[in-house]
Structure 1
Amino acid sequence: MELTGAAALVTGAGSGLGAATAEALAAAGARVVALDLNAEGLAALAARCGAVPVVGDVAEQADVAGAIATAAGLGPLRIAVNCAGIAPAARVVGRSGAHDLALFEKTLRVNLTGTFNVLRLAAQRMQAEPPTAPDGERGVIVNTASIAAEDGQVGQCAYAASKAGVMGLTLPAARELAKSGIRVVTIAPGLFETPMLAGLPEPAQAAIRALPPFPARLGRPEEFAALVLAIAANPLLNGTTLRFDSALRLPP
């Protein structure tokens, strides 16, 4: 997939994995539209790499449709990257009672419904773009799951379920969109240096940093971004979920 002059949409681009991905795509020559609810983070991103900031909710049709229209005005939409997500922690039955149902529904709304909302609308736009040589490819959609989808820990039922859903839609979406020359690939990151981690108490952060076997450190957002570029470049990557985790398997 040639990125120079192409339009790209990145969600969750106000910080962390999304911000690094937006910067990498811009450096590769793409014209990036960055979608997030974090207006301050988007403004900082725009100043760094020239991405077009759009404040919006990935689970709202009008917000995503507007961001895609903005991207399509910059060039053919060739890549959409879903990085928006939340990771609340709550036990099925905790000290205060049963898991808050509204929190479970919110997590699925952002992580799963939001991902599908972007996927469906981006795919619709990509279908209208001319195919590229030599394979007739029109675009690629990269989703973000988590190794928690397979190694979910105590307190992660909502998060793990939402990310398992993202993994589950990858293959059927890729099979359906194959006829249009659109690929769908999911990345399941392990533990990365992101604002989500930075919000934890320092003892918890230290324990988490000790988990990855090799490299024995947390992933860096720019490494995630590099994988997105590799997926864009390699047309045989399709319909699969790539664990990206330093051989880490999360303990209970």
Structure 2
Amino acid sequence: MKPSNRTFIISGGASGLALAAARNLHSAGAYVSLLDLNTENGATIVKELGDRAKFFEVDVSDSESIAKAVQGTVEWVKQTGKEIGGVIAGAGVGLPGLMIDKNNEPIPISSIDFVLNINLRGTLDLIRQALPYMTTNKPDGLDGERGVLIMVASSAAFDGQMGQVAYAASKGAVASLTLPLARDLSKHGIRAVTVAPALFESNMTKQMGKKVKQSLENAMEFPKRAGQPDEFARIVREAVENPMLNGTVLRLDGAMRMPARL
């Protein structure tokens, strides 16, 4: 599916890897609907990208917040005539914490809920609310494709470290739901693809200490460095354009397998 003259709903789209994907698709002629909590960044990005970009303040753990953004995007589509061709569910958080701490206290359930509600529930909620406006698209090309859903997991879905139980659970669930989601939507001509990056330069990694980041880079095989946002964006673009990518999880990790502890 060609990105040009189609609208993509991108959560977490005002920063980090999701923003890199938005810029890449926009450069190919796409319209981008950016969903994020950071209104300042959102306004700056829309000013940069121009008329083919729209920003909506959204908390993806809140269904009503998502609904307002989806409806706002639908109204925008009515004005532009550029149908919703895809969703990129890029909003995510990491909140490390051992299941039981040194004082024999279990991790607060609020911490677990926070991670799951954004990384997993928020992903599914955005997708389910956008789908009715994709299934009615005019079938495109030889295969009759109507759209694509791109989700973001993590290498932690497969080899999470100590303190990553909630995060790994959320990302592992996203990886696991990819195939059944593709099967659910096959009759509609809508694909589902998940990208699972390892260590990438992002807002999350900016919060890491130098020693922690170096330890993670040491676990990379080749190249021995954090991935760049553009490298993530390129695989998202390929997932949009390549119709044979469906129901699969693409590891983007430089052969990294994370150790149990740093």
Q: TM-score, normalised by structure 1?
A: 0.96
Counterparts of 1:155-174 in structure 2, within 5 Å, are 155-174=163-182
* Distance across 2 between alignment mates of 1:209 and 1:47: 35
* Distance across 2 between alignment mates of 1:16 and 1:48: 16
Match of 2:102 in 1: 95
* Distance across 2 between alignment mates of 1:3 and 1:129: 14
* Distance across 1 between alignment mates of 2:217 and 2:161: 16
Q: Could you tell me whether the CA contact under 8 Å between 2:219 and 2:259 is conserved in 1? A: no
Match of 2:61 in 1: 59
Match of 1:233 in 2: 241
SS at match of 1:217: coil
The residue identity in structure 2 corresponding to 1:83 is G
SS at match of 1:243: strand
% same residue: 38
The residue identity in structure 2 corresponding to 1:98 is P
Match of 2:120 in 1: 112
The residue identity in structure 1 corresponding to 2:107 is H
Deviation at 1:209, TM superposition (A): 2.5
Match of 1:78 in 2: 85
SS at match of 1:93: coil
Q: Could you tell me whether the CA contact under 8 Å between 2:216 and 2:258 is conserved in 1? A: no
Deviation at 1:225, TM superposition (A): 0.7
* Distance across 2 between alignment mates of 1:81 and 1:143: 6
* Distance across 1 between alignment mates of 2:249 and 2:155: 10
**Which stretches in structure 2 are left out of the alignment for 5+ residues?**
none
* Distance across 2 between alignment mates of 1:71 and 1:6: 12
Counterparts of 1:211-250 in structure 2, within 5 Å, are 211-250=219-258
95-104 or 30-39: bigger deviation: 95-104
Match of 2:136 in 1: 128
Deviations 1:186-243 (A, max 9, x none): 0111110011111112221222222211111110111111111101110010011111
Is the aligned partner of 1:28 residue 2:36? no
Is the aligned partner of 1:69 residue 2:71? yes
Deviations 1:116-160 (A, max 9, x none): 011112222101211111111000000000010110100000000
Match of 1:207 in 2: 215
Distance 1:44 1:211, change over 3 A: farther
Q: Could you tell me whether the CA contact under 8 Å between 2:219 and 2:256 is conserved in 1? A: yes
Q: Could you tell me whether the CA contact under 8 Å between 1:42 and 1:53 is conserved in 2? A: yes
* Distance across 2 between alignment mates of 1:47 and 1:220: 24
Is the aligned partner of 1:193 residue 2:195? no
State the superposition RMSD in angstroms: 1.2
The residue identity in structure 2 corresponding to 1:37 is L
Deviations 1:89-127 (A, max 9, x none): 000111241111110011100000000011112222101
SS at match of 2:134: helix
Q: TM-score, normalised by structure 2?
A: 0.93
* Distance across 2 between alignment mates of 1:66 and 1:7: 16
* Distance across 1 between alignment mates of 2:110 and 2:58: 21
How many aligned residue pairs are there?
252
SS at match of 1:34: strand
The residue identity in structure 1 corresponding to 2:169 is A
* Distance across 1 between alignment mates of 2:219 and 2:47: 35
